[in-house]
Amino acid sequence: MSQLLSKVTVTCCRSSAGILHGCLQQDGAPPHTARNTPTYLRRENVTFIEPHMWSPNSPDLNPVDCTVWGALQQMVHQCRRFMTINQLKQAIVTEWDKLLQCFIDRAIGQWRHRLECVVPQQGEQIKHLM
């Protein structure tokens, strides 16, 4: 597991100068909740939101869940049919590379507004408010 974390998470969080930047936000997926995941992230000096601070009922606070995955899904499935899992995986990688950084930045930039909407909803989903 540490090899996967190292390749994906830590590599993505490092700038070209090797400095960690940003704050990793996770959800309740089993790989994120595994006991050794936070331990590894701390050891690698990755800034992340601790599991006890995650919103239990609102995926709307995660920019990837609420914005990016939907756009990626549309891009992947637009005018395509997949015969194999490998074809689907390759399409996901190809389309991910086409996502513009400004689109991802805008999704991240909406976080505070989303948080302000979630609080009065007591942590429940806010899709109907957006």
| Per-chain mean pLDDT for the chain | 77
Q: pTM of the entire structure?
A: 0.56
Angstrom distances, CA of residue 33 to CA of 21, 36, 38: 22, 8, 8
Amino acid of residue 111 = W
Q: Distance between CA 124 and CA 87 in Å, rounded?
A: 36
Q: Distance between CA 12 and CA 37 in Å, rounded?
A: 16
Percent of the chain topping pLDDT 90:
17
Q: How far apart are the first and last CA of the chain?
A: 37
Q: How many CB atoms lie within 10 A of CB 62?
A: 20
Per-residue pLDDT of the chain (130 residues; tens, 9 = 90+): 455 555 555 555 555 445 455 677 777 777 777 888 888 888 877 787 777 777 666 667 777 777 888 899 999 999 888 999 999 999 999 999 999 989 988 888 888 888 888 888 877 777 777 6
User: 16: which residues sit within 8 A by CB, 6+ positions away?
Assistant: none
